[in-house]
Amino acid sequence: MASKPKKPSVTFKEVTTALLDNSRPFSPRYLHHFSDISSSDLEDLKKIWLQVNLDRRVALLEDLEELAEADTVLYFEDVAHLALSDPDGRVRATAIRLMWESDNIRLVPVFTKMMLEDKEEIVRAQAASALGLFVYIGEMEAIASFSHRKIEDDLLKVLSGTDTPIVRRRALESLGFSSREEAPAVFRKAYDDGDTQWLASALFAMGRSADEQWEESILKNLNHSDPDVQVEAIRAAGQLELDSAREPLLKMIEEGEGLDVDLRAAAIWSLSQIGGEGVREALDRLYDDTEDESEAEYIEDALDNLSFTDGVADLGMLGFPVDEEDRLNTIIDVNEQEEDDQSGDHKRRKKKHD
């Protein structure tokens, strides 16, 4: 885990002044000042928040989100809370994404209200996505059962309601973690809808389900002509650790010159989750052959994950129990999906946590 960097020796007044200065770019060196922000600095930020240029407010939150993904020690939740009440929908949606790892149960009614009542589609969709984490922790019995069931009820209400497709699909994806008896039927209905976007969301939910009954449905779409559907099938195969997907995915990365970068990255990571014969050798070859520094780093991370995967498999072969919570923890994606109307547009850093 990265160590927390020291904040630059400038006052917060200088930070807010820079925020308000539209004549020059806002310097990245100020970003760490928003982590673990003091109550007095937060009050100062509140006073000037709406005076900050709208595009700069959005850009600031996006920069903080990227920084938080790179360094998990940093904590920007207080700033995100402030931005949840911003009059602009883009800011509110980005603020929700900035809380992608927060399991604070007090956020549930906030996100639920935003999902059900916010006037902006982008916000309702992002709030529906954010509730997926709370479905997951409810499955882990980390919150009260009545709260868990209420979250699922609200997601089911949205899914069966009249909101826009993107909001309803995000609700479906959040229900992916649910063990409710209604869940398989809603996944199947979305899968059979005939629309590729619903198919992609159904595969996303199936990947989260920890249920291998979806194996055939996932395998059938590994080479789908729609790239969003294909990438979700590839990711689902990895999340469910489907041995039957190993050979098709190995073939994909070994013969797939010109393969779309997102598909290639998804296949690499899914193979690291599946493990088994031939995977390490294939990833080693990719690592040796790539001239792209960022891809080399990604493959290196995948090789590290493969070591974990193979280690868990070895424990199982030795008779050590691998419980359901451990299994679910290997597939959780608190990702917060982007508000864009695509299921396959996760940032690469977040793929590592799928």
Residue pLDDT, tens place only, 318-349: 555 555 555 555 544 433 333 333 333 333 33
Mean pLDDT of the chain, nearest integer: 89
Structural domains present in the chain: 1-99 (no CATH), 105-180 (1.25.10), 194-354 (1.25.10)
Polymer length in residues for the chain: 354
Lowest mean pLDDT of 2-16, 54-68, 73-87, 294-308, name the range.
Answer: 2-16
| 78 contact partners, CB below 8 Å, separation of at least 6 | 37, 42
Contact 207/236 with Cβ under 8 angstroms?
yes
pLDDT in tens, 267-317: 999 999 999 999 999 999 999 999 999 999 999 999 999 999 887 665 555
